[in-house]
Amino acid sequence: MSTPIAIDTLISASWILPIVPANSVLEECAVAIDNGAIVALCTQREAAARYAPRQQIDLPGQLLMPGLVNAHCHSAMTLLRGYADDLPLQRWLEEAIWPAERELVSDAFVAAGSRLAIAEMIATGTTSFADMYFYPEATAREALNAGLRAQLAAPIFDGAGSWSSGADDSIHKTLKLRDDYKNHPLIEIGFGPHSPYSCSDAAIKKIATFAAELDMPVMIHLHETAQEIADSVRDHGCRPLARVERLGLLGPRSQCVHMIAASDDELAVLAANGSHIVHCPSSNLKLASGMAPVARYAVAGVNVALGSDGAASNNSLDLFSELRLAALLGSAVAGDPAAIDCHTALRMATLGGASALGWQDRIGSLEAGKQADLIAVDLSGIAQQPLYNPASQLVYSAAGSCVSHSWVAGSPLLRDRQLTTINRAALLREVREQWQPQIAALRR
């Protein structure tokens, strides 16, 4: 008999949903983890004979799956949750959000808002997120303190903002931050041109050049509303996608956020460039921006990821809510109940998000050699019974509150629904006593 192999952790569960192979659910299996990476998936009997774990975790009635990838959010805006609801996008921005940000945004504001967002994301199953907001260095610190994986960008505008004096200054600061985190295992820095309408041709060209030369990700709000598209045709003689393509911004590391409308020709352009669409269904609906036909996007060969957008325009960072809504809305728009099935939605929230961030070789599925970014979802509750199809239950009846455990690179961030890297009581006290009164005063 061979000697058992020493490993760090062995996690057993009633089900494992690995994402790869597609449409598969494993029963009574285990995940072997060592040095932050997945060593193997095997049956529990095989695991007992093959491995000598330093820590063994048994989770009957629970399901292991890749951690969710929130491919677009504005984490610090969690402090503005509920601050300005029930307004269309431009009024929401111009009359409420931008004035509040001019008064509030600072390193301290971003740190507190990011910490609140990161706590919520960990508690609801997100293990990686892509963020666009001012003072990304503050968000980076909070992500590292919490152990969450993050891709961060600052919004780039032509005019002066809270973080910079203009587009050139933002680009310079982004490059400096990239140097600070170059080759970091958990943090990557990208460019965040806010939108085509807020950036000049010169700024977009400069970003495109640096992004291509340095293999940096680019996150941009694109085709967010019908008005944005109409304004671009009026002002530039073409739709926003055509403009950013002409300026060289599209490529395999481009994340086109929202994309509520795209013609067949535009989808062909995205597919040819290997660019990605990040779908934010709750935010799109709450701001009445539009309903993206994501089934068409997938058929056209464009990778689709899921994002929550900011809690100020969604009110929740629970990606399980986006999973469910993406499946229901995608099928309704397509007029086909099978257009976005449960496995397709789960792939969008895991490997689809990892691919959009350029991290598909590291995370997004439970495969040997990948980082041990995974979550456990408790399917033993009343709302999950009876259970015939675990994948279906995850999408249509589970919620972030069902997540019991979370690991990033094998390190536990959530254990038995308790945060392990963030002091929950201190965080809530800071938000309620310091930030909430200060922000509420702006509304008077």
Could you report the per-residue pLDDT of 205-243, keeping only the tens digit for each?
A: 999 999 999 999 999 999 999 999 999 999 999 999 999
- What Cα–Cα distance (Å) separates residue 331 from each residue in 197, 271, 293, 326, 334? 31, 22, 9, 8, 5
How many percent of the chain have pLDDT more than 90? 94
Cβ proximity of 306 and 279 under 8 Å: yes
Domains, the chain, with CATH or none: 5-66+365-409 (2.30.40.10), 68-357 (3.20.20.140)
Nearest to 20 by CA among 361, 431, 399: 361
Tell me what the pLDDT averaged over the chain comes to: 96
- Residue 329: predicted pLDDT: 96
pLDDT at 79 over 90: yes
Average pLDDT over residues 32-56: 98
Please tell me the number of Cα atoms within 13 Å of 259 on its side-chain side.
31
- Residue 204: predicted pLDDT: 98
- Provide the token pair at 36: 């932050």
Average pLDDT over residues 189-199: 97
Indicate the pLDDT class of residue 87, thresholds 50, 70 and 90.
confident
- Residue 278: predicted pLDDT: 98
Q: Note the pLDDT tens digit of each residue in 313-355.
A: 999 999 999 999 999 999 999 999 999 999 999 999 999 999 9
pTM of the full structure: 0.97
Q: Note the pLDDT tens digit of each residue in 391-434.
A: 999 999 999 999 999 999 999 999 999 999 999 999 999 999 99
Number of C-beta neighbours around residue 292 at 10 A: 25
The residue type found at 433 is E
The residue type found at 73 is C
- Residue 1: predicted pLDDT: 56
